[in-house]
Amino acid sequence: MFIPETYGLAVALCLITMLCWGSWANTQKLASRSWPFPLFYWDYSLGIILLTLLFGFTLGSSGEAGRGFVEDLMQGDISSFASAFFGGIVFNIANLMIVAAIDIAGMAVAFPIGIGIALGLGVIVNYIATPVGDPMLLFAGVGMVAIAIILDAFAYQKLSTEQKSTPVKGILLSVVGGVLMGFFYRFVAAAVSTDFTTPEIGLFTPYSAVFVFSIGIFMSNFLWNSFFMYRPFKGNAVTYRDYFLDGDLKLHLIGLLGGIIWCVGMSFSMIASEKAGFAISYGLGQGATLVAAVWGVFIWKEFKNAPRGTNLLIGLMFLFFFFGLALIILSRLT
pLDDT per residue over 60-111, tens digit each?
999 888 999 999 999 999 999 999 999 999 999 999 999 888 878 777 678 7
Mean pLDDT over the full length of the chain = 91
- Is pTM beyond 0.85 here? yes
Work out the pLDDT band at 55, boundaries 50, 70, 90.
very high
The crossing angle, in degrees rounded to 10, of helices 278-285 and 310-330 is 160
Is the pLDDT at 209 greater than 60? The verdict is yes
Alpha carbon distance, N-terminus to C-terminus of the chain:
29
Instruction: Calculate mean pLDDT across residues 152-176.
Output: 76
> How far apart (Å, rounded) are the C-alpha atoms in residues 6 and 176?
37
What is the DSSP-derived secondary structure letter of residue 166? P
- pLDDT tens digit sequence for 212-270: 999 999 999 999 999 999 998 878 899 999 999 989 999 999 999 999 999 999 999 99
Is the pLDDT at 208 greater than 60? The verdict is yes
Question: How far is C-alpha 309 from the geometric centre of its chain's CA atoms?
Answer: 30
Report the length, in residues, of the chain.
334
What was the pLDDT predicted at 288?
A: 87
